[in-house]
């Protein structure tokens, strides 16, 4: 059946300007980290992408290593784009990244010019694109000079393969350095993609300040803390959950009594606001305008619909914010770890 986009797709979505650039992103974007790989059902992935677009989600975030197997999420997206969304390409922001392992040998990982250029060429081929709207360096390379990595991002913009560039998983100090290098080259850093949620607030320890000072946007991944900030774990660990499968990023060891106490208390706040826990978590990350967009993942269309509905209740009273802070407060303070994506 031929897909035709909903005519009212822009009526319910909020769009935010990215830093001091001319680009706007939807407040909620779709990440294809999970559920779009070669091991997943194509038709479900297609439905997730097209329903997102119908709801005003114009930004689709990928990376070279998303799958499994690596690269297959881009192939899935490319197929959906070719079959259903080609006529809407200019209404979409499509991003990809490079920085994690992709192929054997010394040129298939990290941040060299050799690796990054080859990786983007492969990504463009998999998606059937001439360019991506945003291209990120996915993580810091401890061995390649940052000047080389940033010069490569500048080269990709000048070659027409990317319209804008960003970084992900960079510390505040390295982000500041990257901003300076790119500014000197004439290609501004558009955006930073860090993990940020109620349960992991490391970006509040300086990164958000660096971005604001320099007019750089931010898009938070894992705003639902790998599903912890949903109703999934309120009554134990479901057998089909990511934690039960001993994911690298979430396992039973992460779901401590203290974490359960927090999410149950937060759920009470959500209920008092007539929101789901996920809606509360998304609204909170977006609460003060310091975050441009949040990246959601989904395995079901209903999850996307529920998440987008968070935009119907974005205001917090001082009492609500104080209560949330009291729930989240721990002896160790906000997390300072950087989660890999």
Burial of 73-110, coded b for 16+ CB within 10 Å and e otherwise, reads: bbbbbbbbbeebbeeeeeeebbbbbbbbebeeeeebbb
pLDDT of residue 240: 58
Q: Kindly give, in sequence order, each residue whose CB lies less than 8 Å from that of residue 31, ignoring residues fewer than 6 positions away.
A: 61, 62, 221, 295, 296, 297
Residue 141, in any domain of the structure? yes
In a domain, 234, yes or no: no
Residue with tokens 């881009």: 74
Please state, in angstroms and rounded to a whole number, the distance separating the CA atoms of residues 298 and 33: 9
Could you list the residue range(s) of the whole structural domain that residue 72 is in? 15-226+286-313
**pLDDT tens figures, 115-142:** 999 999 999 999 999 999 999 999 999 9
pLDDT at 339 over 70: no
Q: What is the pTM of this model?
A: 0.93
More confident residue, 36 or 245: 36
Q: Identify the pLDDT of residue 256.
A: 87
Q: What's the confidence (pLDDT) of residue 245?
A: 52
pLDDT band with cut points at 50, 70 and 90 for residue 334: very low
Residue 90 scores a pLDDT above 60 = yes
With respect to residue 258, please indicate whether it lies within any of the assigned structural domains. no
How far are the Cα atoms of 66, 100, 155, 164, 287 from residue 197, in angstroms, in the given order?
21, 23, 33, 25, 12
Exposure class string for 8-46: b at 16+ Cβ within 10 A, else e = ebeeeeebbebbebebbbbbbbbbbbbbbbeebeeeebb
Within a domain: 235: no
**Angle at 20 (CA atoms; ends 14, 22), nearest 5 degrees:** 65
Q: What percent of the chain has pLDDT over 90?
A: 89
pLDDT in tens, 227-279: 999 998 888 666 655 554 555 555 466 788 999 999 999 999 999 999 999 99
Would residue 168 be called left, alpha or beta, if left means φ above 0 and alpha means ψ between -120 and 50 degrees?
beta
Q: Is residue 239 part of a domain?
A: no
Q: Is residue 108 part of a domain?
A: yes
Dmax (CA) for the chain in angstroms is 55
- Cα gap 182→158, rounded to integer Å: 12
The domain total for the chain is: 1
Is the pLDDT at 330 greater than 80? The verdict is: no
Assess if residue 155 is contained within a domain.
Answer: yes
Q: Is residue 236 part of a domain?
A: no
Q: At what angle do helices 113-127 and 72-80 cross, to 10 degrees?
A: 40
In whole numbers, what is the pLDDT of the chain averaged over residues? 93
Q: CA geometry: angle at 42 spanning 38 and 48, to 5°?
A: 115
pLDDT at 203 over 50: yes
Q: How confident is the model at residue 333 (pLDDT cuts 50, 70, 90)?
A: very low
Stretch 275-301: mean pLDDT, rounded? 98
Whole-number pLDDT of residue 331: 43
Give the integer Cα–Cα distance in Å for 87 and 108: 34
- The predicted pLDDT at position 239 comes to 60
Residue-level pLDDT at 235 = 80
pLDDT at 233: 87
Percent of the chain at pLDDT exceeding 70: 91
CATH code of residue 28: 3.20.20.100
Q: Which residues contact 275 (CB under 8 A, 6 or more apart)?
A: 283, 310, 313
Length of the chain: 341
Nearest CA to 26 out of 52, 50, 6, 5 is that of 52
CB 226 within 8 A of CB 249: yes
């Amino acid at each position: 059946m031929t897909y035709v986009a909903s005519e009212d797709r822009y009526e319910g979505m909020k769009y935010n300007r990215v830093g001091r650039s001319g680009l706007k992103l939807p407040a909620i974007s779709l990440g294809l980290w999970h559920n779009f790989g070669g091991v997943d059902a194509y038709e479900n992935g297609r439905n997730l992408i097209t329903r997102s677009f119908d709801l005003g989600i114009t930004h689709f975030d990928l990376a070279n290593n998303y799958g499994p197997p690596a690269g297959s999420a881009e192939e899935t997206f490319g197929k959906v784009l070719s079959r259903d969304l080609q006529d809407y390409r200019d209404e979409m922001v499509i991003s990809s990244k490079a920085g994690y392992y992709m192929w054997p040998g010394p040129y298939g990982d990290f941040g060299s010019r050799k690796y990054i250029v080859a990786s983007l060429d492969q990504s463009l081929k998999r998606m059937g694109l001439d360019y991506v709207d945003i291209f990120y360096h996915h993580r810091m390379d401890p061995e390649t000079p940052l000047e080389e990595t940033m010069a490569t991002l500048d080269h990709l913009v000048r070659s027409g393969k990317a319209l804008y560039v960003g970084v992900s998983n960079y510390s505040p100090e390295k982000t500041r350095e990257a901003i300076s290098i790119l500014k000197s080259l004439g290609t501004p850093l558009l955006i930073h993609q860090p993990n940020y949620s109620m349960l992991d607030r490391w970006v509040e320890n300086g990164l958000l300040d660096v971005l604001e000072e320099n007019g750089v946007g931010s898009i938070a991944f894992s705003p639902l803390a790998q599903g912890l900030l949903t109703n999934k774990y309120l009554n134990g660990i479901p057998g089909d959950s990511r934690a039960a499968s001993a994911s690298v990023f979430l396992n039973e060891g992460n779901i401590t009594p203290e974490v359960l106490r927090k999410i149950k208390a937060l759920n009470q706040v959500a209920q008092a606001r007539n929101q789901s826990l996920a809606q509360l978590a998304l609204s909170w990350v977006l609460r003060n305008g310091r975050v441009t967009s949040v990246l959601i993942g989904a395995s079901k269309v209903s999850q996307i619909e529920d998440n987008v509905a968070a935009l119907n209740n974005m205001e917090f009273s001082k009492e609500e914010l104080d209560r949330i802070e009291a729930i989240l407060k721990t002896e160790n303070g906000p997390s300072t770890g950087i989660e890999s994506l």
